[in-house]
Structure 1
Amino acid sequence: LLNFVVGFNVQIVEEEAFYQSSIKRFVSFSLKSVLSKAFFMCYQLSYINLTQVRTLGSQSFVKSGLVNVEIPSITQLTDCFENKFSLKQIIAPNLTQLDEFYLSQHVNIVTPAEKCKNNKAIRFQEI
């Protein structure tokens, strides 16, 4: 049973690295890239620091437990977070392009991108 990973110098999470695992938290202050399906079906994942990440692979966080995601370095958002049960908000100040999927879901997207109407962040309270 894997609860958390602390890898301060980890820069890349490889394809399917934590596929269907029980990981809850992933901590790395050097993370630059998360490859395809790296955290696919990680239902219990509640925290990962993505502030330095520049690339997110296809379906990298599909069906994860993430609720609120901050991705300041990402400019294009494809199918990496397609998730219908937990994701509530994506904060992406440099986003210029996003998949139509996100516009049809109940995900608050905070970005200057044209397609997003509500540009106000939701404040969450941790229980």
Structure 2
Amino acid sequence: MHEEKVALTKNQIAALRKAAETRSIQDIFVVACGGSLATLNPILYILDRETNAVHVSSVNAAEFFHNPPHRLGDHSLVILNSQSGTTPETVSAARLAHERGRLLRRLPQYQAPLSRLWWIFPFTIMTIR
């Protein structure tokens, strides 16, 4: 069972990478609230230390929705996370990014209500428990 989850995650990451390569990603926004945002800190740290090819920002979901970043554009990747899957601000941020045609990735919990928005996210990478 564990091997299947690892293989699924690797395939999901490969699909995201392929799509990102065709979009010339220049900006990555990690978007969430509270503890869900804190769980994305490793992404920020690694990209900040390992590359200068992309600009990486951490943005609270409510701020992202009400005051979208100026750099949000065609060359953006938006990574969203909601531990409960019920965070209204994160759902609003996802809809805004989707409406603007941005490449989206989510990190949902299994069977979370945010999963009801599956049609918004072309790339979902499930967490492994």
Query: What is the TM-score with the length of structure 2 in the denominator?
Result: 0.30
Q: Which has the bigger relative contact order, CA under 8 A and spacing at least 6?
A: 2
Compute the TM-score of the two structures, normalised by the length of structure 1: 0.30
